[in-house]
Chains A and B, each alone.
Chain A
Amino acid sequence: KQEVTQIPAALSVPEGENLVLNCSFTDSAIYNLQWFRQDPGKGLTSLLLIQSSQREQTSGRLNASLDKSSGRSTLYIAASQPGDSATYLCAVRHGQAGTALIFGKGTTLSVSS
C-alpha cells in the first residue's frame, strides 16, 4: 500500500531564506504528484502538479522536482516571505481512471519577518 511521508513536520525560517520541503513515497508506480498549500481552517490550494514523465515544474518562486526511481519529490521555495507561512502537503496518484490521491501529513512552515 502506498505511503507518503513528509519531513520535517514543522519548519521555522527567517524571511528571505531559500528552503526545501521533502516528500517521499513507497511505491514508485505513480501517475502524478501534486503539491498543495493549506492555510489554517481553509481548503487546499493546488500549487504544482508533476506528471510521472516530468522531472520538475516551476511557478514563480516555487519549484517542484520528482525522482520516481527513488520515490522522492522536493518543493523548493525561493526567497521565503511571511505570506508563505502555511501547511504544505504533497499527494500522489496511481492510475489514470479516476483514482484518488494519497496525501502526506504535511509540513507546517512558519516564516518570520
Chain B
Amino acid sequence: DVKVTQSSRYLVKRTGEKVFLECVQDMDHENMFWYRQDPGLGLRLIYFSYDVKMKEKGDIPEGYSVSREKKERFSLILESASTNQTSMYLCASRTRLSGNTIYFGEGSWLTVV
C-alpha cells in the first residue's frame, strides 16, 4: 500500500525558530510536493521536487526552503518561523508509473507562537 509519512503531526514553535518538517515516501516516487492549507485559501503549493536534488518554487516559497538529498525524503525548512506560517502542511508524492495519481500524507499542524 502507498504510504507518505509526515513524522510530526503537531508542532508548536516559537517565533524565530528554525523548523524542519520531514516527509518520507516508500514508493520510489520521483515527484514530491509541499503544500500548505489555510481556511478560505485552500491548498497552496510551496515547493516541489522533480527528483533527487531538484527543486522548483511553487506559488508561495517565501520564508521556506526545501531539501531532497534522497529520493524517499523531502524536507521543508522554515528558516525563521513567523506567526503567519501557522498552518496545516501537507506533503505529497507521485510517479507516472502509478498513473499519475498523487498521494498525500496525513498533514503536520504547525503553530508558531
**Which A residues form the contact surface with B (CB < 8 A)?**
31-32, 34, 36, 41-46, 49, 51, 89, 91, 93, 96-98, 100-101, 103-106
Chain A interface secondary structure, helix, strand, loop or mixed? strand
Q: Is B74 an interface residue (CB 8 A)?
A: no
Residues from 1 to 34 in B contacting A, C-beta threshold 8 Å: 4, 30-31, 33
Complex-state Cα separation, A88 to B50, whole angstroms: 27
* Cross-chain pair count, CB within 8 angstroms: 53
A104: chain B residues within 8 A (beta carbon):
42
B107: chain A residues within 8 A (beta carbon):
41-43
| Contact (Cβ within 8 A) B102 A34 | yes
| Contact (Cβ within 8 A) A43 B101 | no
Q: 5 A-B contacts, Cβ less than 8 Å apart?
A: A34-B102, A43-B4, A43-B105, A89-B43, A103-B42
| Shortest CB distance A9–B (Å) | 10
Complex-state Cα separation, A89 to B33, whole angstroms: 17
User: What interface size band does chain B fall in?
Assistant: 20 to 34
B92: chain A residues within 8 A (beta carbon):
44
Q: Which 7 A-B pairs have the closest CB atoms?
A: A105-B42, A98-B50, A43-B104, A44-B104, A103-B43, A43-B106, A43-B107
A89: chain B residues within 8 A (beta carbon):
42-43
User: Residue on B with the closest CB to A49?
Assistant: B101
User: Residue on A with the closest CB to B88?
Assistant: A41
Point out which of B4, B103, B104, B109 has the most chain A C-beta atoms below 10 A from its C-beta: B104
Complex-state Cα separation, A31 to B31, whole angstroms: 16
User: Residue on A with the closest CB to B109?
Assistant: A41
User: Residue on A with the closest CB to B96?
Assistant: A96
Task: Return the CB mask of B34-59 against A: 1 if under 8 Å, else 0.
Answer: 00000011110100101000001010
